[in-house]
Amino acid sequence: MERLTAENISVSYGGIKIIDDISIELHKGEIVSLLGASGVGKTTLFNVLSGLLIPDQGAVLIDSENITGKTGKLSYMLQKDMLLPFKTIVDNVALPLVIKGKKKKEARAVAASFFEEFGLSGTESKYPKQLSGGMRQRAALLRTYLFSDQVALLDEPFSALDTITKGNMHQWYLGVMESIKLSTLFITHDIDEAILLSDRIYIMAGKPGHIVEELIMKEKKPRSEDFLVSDEFIRYKKHISMLLKQNEEKSQ
């Protein structure tokens, strides 16, 4: 079942086309990566999907409802955790519920009920500066989930983490996503990350940016760290690397 569909999206700035004729789908419970080099237009596409930007052509639908140019329909998590430094973690996480009209006490209770599942137990009364980068990202992801448990757009949420923390977060993320089944479209320029986390990968390249291939991952999730050194992983990585290199050469 399709949750999110983008149909023939094109965007131009100042007469220069940034993305061209992009069509993608996100099915219920999937993690789908949008993989491409910096500057190819991935964030521009996300701004269209989230309703922050109206495309020159094309439409965005969620469960067949046209939401083109409508904000507040999807949750959107940026690279930085964007936690408010003067609020406790539970109040940060509960913020979407308060915005939707729940009383603070009720919102805190709902938010706190997810803390164990998200590995945040004991952080409720702490402030963002007291948490590690990985823990802050967990809190930000929970806040994103509480904003909308239908579809989430994640824009390189682990890119600021060090290698070890990032690896741990990947394994945690796969585990929690198996539990909450959140349909997720995930921007990354990290090939390893896309292969490890995704059900499908849309590879984006060129100027203007466009989809050059859809790659379907056959391996079941959650995938262990051993998958990163498997023959299957290496084949995926070689294929994607070659495809990106070929398209980079064409656009020069």
The residues with which 17 forms a beta bridge, in sequence order, are: 12
Check whether 251 has a pLDDT greater than 80.
Answer: no
Q: Kindly report the backbone phi and psi dihedral angles of residue 217, in degrees, each rounded to the nearest multiple of 5, phi listed first.
A: -85, 125
Q: What is the pTM of this model?
A: 0.89
Check whether 167 has a pLDDT greater than 90.
Answer: no
Check whether 62 has a pLDDT greater than 70.
Answer: yes
Check whether 249 has a pLDDT greater than 80.
Answer: no
Q: What is the pLDDT of residues 177-233, one digit of tens each?
A: 888 888 999 999 899 999 999 999 999 998 999 999 999 998 888 787 788 889 999
Q: What is the pLDDT of residues 44-56, one digit of tens each?
A: 999 999 999 999 9
Q: What is the pLDDT of residues 72-126, one digit of tens each?
A: 888 888 877 889 999 999 999 999 999 889 999 999 999 999 999 999 999 999 9
- Tell me the C-alpha distance between 150 and 133, whole Å: 26
The distance between the two most distant Cα atoms of the chain, rounded to a whole number of Å, is 57
Q: Where are the beta strands (DSSP E) in 14-150?
A: 16-27, 31-35, 57-62, 65-66, 75-77
Domains of the chain, start order: 2-74+187-251 (3.40.50.300)
Please tell me the predicted confidence (pLDDT) of residue 143: 92
Query: CA Rg, the chain, in Å?
Result: 18
Q: Which residues contact 34 (CB under 8 A, 6 or more apart)?
A: 24, 42, 45, 46, 185, 186, 187, 188, 202, 204
Mean pLDDT of the chain: 90
Mean pLDDT of 156-176: 85
Token output for 82: 């964007």
Q: Kindly report the backbone phi and psi dihedral angles of residue 13, in degrees, each rounded to the nearest multiple of 5, phi listed first.
A: -125, 125
